[in-house]
Amino acid sequence: MFSSLKTEIIVIDNNSADETVGFIKENYPSVELVTSNENLGFAKANNIGIKKAYEKVADFIFLLNQDAWIEIDTIEKLVEIFKNIPNTGIVSPVHLNGTKKLLDGGFVNYLLNRNTPNFISDLYFNRLQPIYETNYVNAAAWLISRACVEKIGVFDTSVFYHYGEDDNYCHRALYHGFKIYICSSSTICHDREERQGIRPEEHENKRSKIALNVKLSNILKDDKEIYDVIYKLKKQIIKILIKALIKLQFKKFFIQLKEAQNDFSLFMKIKESRKINKQGGLVWL
C-alpha cells in the first residue's frame, strides 16, 4: 500500500529463510535493504533501521512489523498529531487484524483503562475522540519523532532481544517527558492470526522472565527495588545450591549454578542500562 506522504523505505531482513530478499531486490529496487547473517531480534534490527533513518535526517521514523501493512493515509494522520500537540514522542494507529473486521487481539489489551483510559467506553457509546493518551502500545506500528530518539535513544539491546523492549521504551519516553498517543482515525492491519510459535507453556515461561526484566529496567526512579530483588535472588539461589549439595545432586547443583551466573550477568546489564536510560541522550545501544 502506498502512502499519501513521501517516504523512504528501509527494510531490515533478519536472516529470513524464504525468498524475501530476492523478491524485494527484484520488485522494489528503490527500497534500501539491509540483510543480516543471523536473526538479530526485534530490538537490534529496529535500531539499525532507526539509525539509518536518523542519519538521513528524517523528521519522523515509522516502525512497521513485517506482518503488518498501512493504509494510504496512515502516516499522514499520525504526523498531524506531532504538528498539533507539543511533547509528542510516539503515536500509533489503531491495529486491526488481517481481515480488517476485528481489532488485533493483542492491541485490544492496550485499550483497557489501565493503559488507555476511556477508549473502550467511548467506542461503545459512539463518542470516539481523535486521539487518546496511553502509557503503552506495542511497536508493531510506531511513528517516533526525531526529537524523541535524540532525547531517549533507541531500544535497549543489552537487556531485550524480543518482547519487552517496546514496554521499556514507552516507560523511558514517559520518564523523559514525552507523550504517547493512539490515533483513532488511523489504522494498520497486523496480520498475525496464523502465526506459528512456541508451545504455550514455553511462551508463558519466557514471558514471565521478560516481565521481570521489564519491571527491573523500568524502575528508573527507585534503585533500591532492584537491589532488593537481587538480594532476595541471592538468598534463594544459595538455599537451592546448599540443598542440592546436601542431597549430593551434583548435576542439579551445576545446572542451578549456571542459571545463577546467567541471572547475575543479566542483572548487571540491567543495572548499567538503567544508568543510560535515566541519563537519556542518543546512545546507539
* Residue indicated by cell numbers 491495529: 95
What is the radius of gyration, based on Cα positions, of the chain? 21
Question: HSE-up of 41 (CA within 13 Å, CB side)?
Answer: 14
Torsion angles phi and psi, residue 128, rounded to 5: -60, 130
The helix (H) or strand (E) run that includes residue 277 is helix 250-279
In the chain, the amino acid numbered 225 is E
Of the candidates 101, 74, 42, 73, the one whose C-alpha atom is nearest the C-alpha of residue 182 is 74
CB 215 within 8 A of CB 267: no
Three cell numbers written together for 285: 545501544
> For the segment 222-275, what is each residue's pLDDT rounded down to a tens digit?
666 666 766 666 676 677 777 777 776 666 667 766 776 676 777 777 777 888
Give the number of residues written for the chain: 285
118 vs 85: CA distance, rounded Å: 20
* CB neighbours of residue 149 within 10 Å: 19
- Which residues, other chains included, contact 37 with Cβ-Cβ below 8 Å and sequence gap of 6+? 15
Domains identified in the chain and CATH numbers: 10-190 (3.90.550.60)
- Quote the pLDDT of residue 202: 43
CA angle (70, 76, 82) in 5-degree steps? 120
Question: pLDDT under 50 in the chain at which residues?
Answer: 198-205
58 vs 152: CA distance, rounded Å: 16
In the chain, the amino acid numbered 238 is I
